[in-house]
Amino acid sequence: MTNAHLMLAFEGTAPSPAILEAIQNHHLSGVSLFRPLNVQNAAQVRELTAALQTAARAAGLPPLLIAADHETGQLLGLGSDLTNFPGNMALAAIGDAALAEQVGRAMGLEIAALGVNINYAPVCDVNSNPANPSIGIRALGDNPRQAAELASALIRGMQSAGIAATAKHFPGLGETAVDSHHAVPVVPHTLGRLETVEFPPFRAAIGAGVKMMMTGHVALPALAEQPDLPATLSRAIQRDLLRGRLGFEGCSSATQWRWGRLPKGWGKC
């Protein structure tokens, strides 16, 4: 069995036996690293990514995709050894796209130096609901036009350093009042409202050539096949909207199997 579309998470600051077995026998496309599971310091992360790539070469695989959730600000997914650049809300307060692009490039260079080649950032959600429990200061503000400008700048900067950026969380979590890590929030808006508020940063990200799009566990009854179907499982949203209407041609992903929760049959890595 090959799993070239799967990126697994695992526990350990060095490659675990289970993840090495998965690389050897199941031909993974890559791994996702998370601070609570895999990170002690910058030197250790560099050794970890090198060991993972060595295992991939030994298995006759192309270089692994190695991803991290490193937004900076309140989320330093690769640890505090890296520069804690201003978070998204601070960048929105400054409002300087050139500075945002410089931050994106500097962030990308640091990540690349650790052997990571994908960043699950930037957040492209518009912070339209002050009661949102999970986005808040991670957003590039509540103005869709400004969020679009700054998101595309961050993406250009990161990708100029050789890092594949990820626009998240399509089609937008900014309006939700429920944390999608714990339940499926519902956004009842029409396509017209989504085009005005939620979509501009994602359109700008696509225009900037973003390599990846992370979909959110959010239900959009006006667009999906079923009222409570998450966007991550909706053909109407993933194919017809994201790829058809918005023209995205990159990789669409979701982080459903985080924190060691893997699909049935995989066991725990």
Supply the pLDDT for residue 10: 96
| Beta-sheet pairing, 164-170 with 70-72 | unpaired
pLDDT digits (tens, 9 = 90+) for 165-189: 999 999 999 988 778 888 888 888 9
pLDDT in tens, 219-245: 999 999 998 899 999 999 999 999 999
Q: Rounded to an integer, what distance in angstroms lies between the CA atom of residue 79 and that of residue 101?
A: 22
Task: Select from 207, 208, 145, 137 the least CA-distant residue to 174.
Answer: 137
pLDDT the model gives residue 156: 98
Q: What does each of the 269 residues of the chain score in pLDDT, given as a tens digit?
A: 445 678 899 999 999 999 999 999 988 899 999 999 999 999 999 999 999 999 999 999 999 999 999 999 889 999 999 999 999 999 999 999 999 999 999 999 999 999 999 999 999 999 999 888 889 999 999 999 999 999 999 999 999 999 999 999 999 999 887 788 888 888 889 999 999 999 999 999 999 999 999 999 899 999 999 988 999 999 999 999 999 999 999 988 765 433 333 333 333 32
Q: How far apart are CA 195 and CA 101, in angstroms?
A: 25
| Domain residue extents for the chain | 73-251
Contact call for residues 89 and 139 (beta carbons, < 8 A): yes
DSSP conformation class of 84: -
- What does DSSP say about strands 70-72 and 75-76: parallel, antiparallel, or unpaired? antiparallel
E-assigned strand segments in 204-263: 212-215, 251-253
Homologous superfamily assigned to 73-251: Glycoside hydrolase, family 3, N-terminal domain (3.20.20.300)
pLDDT at 76: 93
CA distances from 222 to 62, 104, 179, 191 (A): 41, 35, 20, 7
- How, if at all, do strands 164-170 and 118-119 pair? parallel
Global pTM value:
0.91
**Cis bond upstream, residue 70 (ω within 30):** no
